[in-house]
């Protein structure tokens, strides 16, 4: 079941089209990556979901209902540009923002106490926001985003500005929130985060969606029939063991093992490769080389740009 659906959403600013008939389906209890280059239209879509701006065309649904103001109570939004009152004490501000999300004061205090301890900022309760480092401020912003336990969380570059330790803390909390039943949409340029966290993604470029689906399915769809082989027992170039139709992409060695990356022609499988090399080498590891999401991102965006340029010429 999908918690959020957008159908042919279009948004224009004067002569510029920010979104052009974009449709996405976000499965419930998933982590959904909203990807694209700068200026692709991701932030515009996020602002429409949060009802900060309205679409010119198209429809949006939460749990099968048309998106309405009441749905803001089940959405938590962490924008890329953080915003806290610099002169206001941290605890007082967090409590105020929690109550704006209809969390009763005593319940808000209980939740905030637990979260401040979890994120190791309990000593900053009575300090003004301006006294906190950027990373500490971002922790506070993250806490007030999740304090009302929303069903749909939207994070725009949630790891920006965090050191590796605190980025891991935020990542683990996102996974915990999903485990507890929340659905997460997050926009990022960090493809490693996409590989690690996302169940599904949509890729937007030049205002249009150009790719959507499960990460595992997309990676398999874009595989190139290439394999990595680690071996010893043969000191010559392994290319000499292979037919001309096999492409040796890369070969390296250390003190104990040699590693070769080999692309097979269409129609050939891993058993064929192994049949050629097994009589001559001792194999220590063998795996298919699936493309990274970074590789797929670059390929699809460049392909789309070429298509747009071709249509304009």
CATH of the domain at 165: 3.40.50.300
Clarify whether residues 69 and 132 are in a common domain.
yes
Clarify whether residues 143 and 241 are in a common domain.
no
Clarify whether residues 123 and 211 are in a common domain.
yes
Res 309: pLDDT: 60
Clarify whether residues 172 and 32 are in a common domain.
yes
14 pLDDT exceeds 90?
Answer: no
pLDDT digits over 22-36, tens only?
999 999 999 999 999
Q: How many angstroms separate the first and last alpha carbons of the chain?
A: 42
Instruction: Examine the fold and report which residue of 201, 220, 239 is the final residue of a domain before the chain moves on.
Output: 220
By the 10 Å C-beta count (0-12 exposed, 13-18 middle, 19+ buried), 115 is classed as buried
How many percent of the chain have pLDDT more than 70?
Answer: 98
Res 26: pLDDT: 97
Which DSSP category does 37 fall into?
S
Clarify whether residues 39 and 130 are in a common domain.
yes
Res 270: pLDDT: 95
Q: Which residues contact 179 (CB under 8 A, 6 or more apart)?
A: none
CA nearest to 77, candidates 7, 9, 158 = 158
Res 174: pLDDT: 95
pLDDT digits over 181-232, tens only?
999 999 988 888 899 999 999 999 999 999 999 999 999 999 999 999 999 9
Clarify whether residues 124 and 233 are in a common domain.
no
312 pLDDT exceeds 60?
Answer: no
Q: Answer whether residue 301 is part of any domain.
A: no
Clarify whether residues 82 and 185 are in a common domain.
yes
pLDDT digits over 54-87, tens only?
999 999 999 999 999 999 999 999 987 767 888 8
Q: Answer whether residue 242 is part of any domain.
A: yes
**Residue 205, H or E segment:** strand 200-205
Q: Answer whether residue 293 is part of any domain.
A: no
pLDDT digits over 263-299, tens only?
999 999 999 999 999 999 999 999 999 999 999 999 9
What's the chain's average pLDDT? Answer: 91
Q: Answer whether residue 300 is part of any domain.
A: no
Res 310: pLDDT: 60
Distances (CA, A) of 81 to 11, 58, 86, 157, 160: 21, 27, 14, 9, 10
Clarify whether residues 128 and 212 are in a common domain.
yes
Q: Structurally, how many domains does the chain consist of?
A: 2
What are the backbone angles phi and psi of residue 95, rounded to the nearest 5°?
-65, -40
Clarify whether residues 233 and 176 are in a common domain.
no
Q: Answer whether residue 304 is part of any domain.
A: no
Helix intervals (H) in 13-72: 42-49
Read off the pLDDT band of 48 (50, 70, 90). Answer: very high
Res 289: pLDDT: 93
Q: Answer whether residue 161 is part of any domain.
A: yes
Res 188: pLDDT: 86
- Residue pair 143/170 in contact by the 8 Å Cβ criterion: no
What are the backbone angles phi and psi of residue 151, rounded to the nearest 5°?
-80, -30
Residue, of 162 and 104, whose pLDDT is higher: 104
How many percent of the chain have pLDDT more than 90?
Answer: 73
The string of DSSP codes covering 256-306 is S-EEEEEEPPTT--HHHHHHHHTTT-EEEEEEE-PPPHHHHHHHHHHHHHH
Cβ neighbours of 203 (radius 10 Å): 24
Mean pLDDT, range 143-158, rounded to an integer: 94
Res 260: pLDDT: 94
Clarify whether residues 92 and 229 are in a common domain.
no
CA nearest to 45, candidates 225, 186, 198 = 186
Strand partners, 250: 261
Q: Answer whether residue 311 is part of any domain.
A: no
Distances (CA, A) of 146 to 39, 90, 136, 228: 27, 16, 16, 43
179 pLDDT exceeds 90?
Answer: yes
In this prediction the pTM is: 0.87
CATH of the domain at 238: 3.30.70
Instruction: Examine the fold and report which residue of 204, 220, 236 is the final residue of a domain before the chain moves on.
Output: 220
Res 161: pLDDT: 78
Q: Is 201 helix (H, G, I), strand (E, B) or coil?
A: strand
d(CA 19, CA 12): 7
Q: Answer whether residue 308 is part of any domain.
A: no
Clarify whether residues 93 and 143 are in a common domain.
yes
By the 10 Å C-beta count (0-12 exposed, 13-18 middle, 19+ buried), 171 is classed as middle
Structural domain containing residue 246: 224-288
Residue, of 311 and 172, whose pLDDT is higher: 172
Clarify whether residues 29 and 177 are in a common domain.
yes
């Amino acid at each position: 079941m999908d918690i959020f659906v957008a159908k042919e959403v279009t948004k224009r600013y004067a002569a510029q089209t920010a979104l052009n008939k974009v449709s996405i389906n976000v499965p419930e209890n998933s982590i959904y990556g909203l990807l694209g280059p700068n200026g692709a239209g991701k932030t515009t879509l996020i602002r429409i979901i949060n009802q900060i701006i309205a679409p010119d065309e198209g429809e949006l649904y939460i749990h099968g209902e048309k998106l309405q103001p009441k749905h803001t109570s089940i959405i938590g939004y962490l924008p890329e540009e953080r915003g806290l009152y610099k002169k206001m004490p941290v605890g007082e501000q967090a409590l105020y923002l929690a109550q704006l999300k209809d969390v009763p004061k005593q319940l808000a205090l209980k939740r905030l106490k637990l979260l401040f301890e979890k994120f190791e900022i309990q000593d900053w309760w009575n300090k003004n926001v301006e006294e906190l480092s950027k990373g500490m401020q971002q922790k506070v912003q993250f806490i007030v985003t999740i304090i009302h336990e929303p069903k749909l969380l939207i994070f725009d570059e949630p790891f920006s500005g965090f050191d590796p330790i605190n980025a891991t803390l935020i990542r683990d909390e996102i996974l915990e929130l999903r485990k507890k039943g929340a659905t997460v949409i997050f926009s990022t340029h960090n493809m490693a985060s996409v590989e690690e966290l996302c169940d599904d993604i949509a890729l937007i470029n030049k205002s249009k969606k150009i790719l959507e689906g499960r990460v595992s399915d997309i990676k398999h769809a874009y595989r190139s029939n290439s394999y990595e082989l680690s071996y010893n027992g043969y000191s010559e170039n392994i290319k000499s063991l292979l037919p001309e139709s096999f492409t040796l992409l890369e070969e390296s060695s250390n003190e104990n093992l040699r590693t070769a990356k080999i692309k097979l022609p269409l129609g050939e499988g891993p058993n064929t490769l192994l049949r050629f090399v097994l009589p001559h080498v001792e194999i220590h590891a063998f795996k298919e080389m699936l493309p990274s999401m970074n590789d797929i991102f670059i390929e699809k965006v460049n392909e789309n740009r070429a298509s747009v340029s071709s249509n304009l010429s």
